[in-house]
Structure 1
Amino acid sequence: MNEYMFYTFEGFTQSPNKTDCENLQILGFEKAENLEAAKEHLLANNDWISKYGFNTEEILSKKILTEESLASIKTVVDYLWEDEEKDYEECLVSGKNVDNHILKHLRKLKLLTEENNKTHEFYSIEDKISFLFKKYNSDNKDPRIILKSVLLDLGLEEEKSSLISIEAGGSQCKVTSEYLKKIFIPKNIFEEVLATIRYFYYEFE
C-alpha cells in the first residue's frame, strides 16, 4: 500500500492575525495501491474540494514514505551496516578512496529512519557529543574513524569530516576554532563541531 499527499496552489490561507496569504494548500493524504486510486479516494472522501471550487485537474501529489516502508529500509540498513562499516574503516585506514562507498548512502538512510523515531533528548552540546562518541566507540576502532562518524552525524559534509579526522588524528597540527573557520565550517553546527574536537582530544590524546 502506498501513501500520497495531495496539494494545490489554488486558494489562500488566513494567518492567525487575519492576514490572507497566498501559499500552497494541502488537501489531504490517502493510501492506495496507486496514484489514480488514491486521488479517487481523496475526492470521494472530501466532497468539499469540488464544492469549494478547487480545480481537480490542478491537484498535485507527492508519494510519501509510510511507516511500513521506513521499517523495511531500517531492516536493510541494519542487515548491511556492520559489514559495510568494517569495510569502510579498512578502506579509510589503508588510504583508499571512500567518496562513493556504500556506507555513505546507508548512513543517510539510517538517519532517515532514526529521525522518524527519535528517542533521545539532549540537554547540552556536551551531552549530545558524549552520546555520539559512545555510540560509535568500540574496542580497537581507529579514533579517527569514530571522530569522522560523529562529525557526519552532526551534519558535516564528507570531505570536511575526513579532513578534520585526519588532521586531529595526526601530529602535524592542532585543530582549533581558527582552523575550523579557515575551512568554513557552517555556522549552524560550528559550536558542535568544536565541542566534538575538544572531546576527541580529551578522550584520545
Structure 2
Amino acid sequence: MFAHMHGRGGRGCGPRGGGEWSRGPFAVRWDFGRGDPREDGRGGGGRRRMFDGGELRLVLLRMIADEPRHGYELIKAIEELTGGAYAPSPGMVYPALTMLAEMELIAEQPSETARKRFVVTGAGTAHLAEHAEQVAALMARLAEVGAHRARSDRAPIRRAMRNLRTVLQNRLEADDLSEDASHAVAELIDEVVRKIERLK
C-alpha cells in the first residue's frame, strides 16, 4: 500500500539533504526569506520544497483523521496552520485526495452538498499509525512555517522598539535636552502608549 503511495509521489516522502525537500510532481518551494510559496517548484537558490506528493497525502490524511473535510476545507486548514504563509493549490490537493480514495485510506462521506467531504477509513488510521513519526515531522514543518510567519509579522514592531530605545539613549547620554524638551518627549511616549492600548 505504502509503496503505491510512495511511487506516485516522486522520490520519496522524507526530506533530502542540502536544505531542500525531496522533489515530486506536487512539490512546492517555500522561500523563508520572502514568504513566497511557489507551487511550480521554480525559483532561485535558498528555497526548500514544502511537500512532495507522498508527504502532502500524509498531511491530508492526518487532517481528515482529525475531522472529516472536503478539499477546500483542507486548503484553508493548512493555510491557517501556517498563518496564511502557505496554502496548497486545488491542483495539488484534489489529485492527492483522489489517490487516497483509490488506496481506500479515505472514503467519501454522504452529503447533501456538491462538495465531497472525506472521512478516514480503518486502513487510513492504520497507515497513519504505521507512519506516525513521519506524520509528526510533517505537521511540525507546517507549524514551523506558521511560527516563522508570526515572527516576521512582528518584525516591524521590534524594529520600531529598537529605534525608540536607541534615540532615547542617545539623547539622554548627550544630556542636551532642556527641561521643556524632556517633558515633551515624555508626553510623546505617553501619547503613543495610550494609542497602543486602544488598538484592537
Structure with bigger RCO (C-alpha 8 Å, 6+ apart):
2
TM over 0.5: no
TM-score (norm 1): 0.23
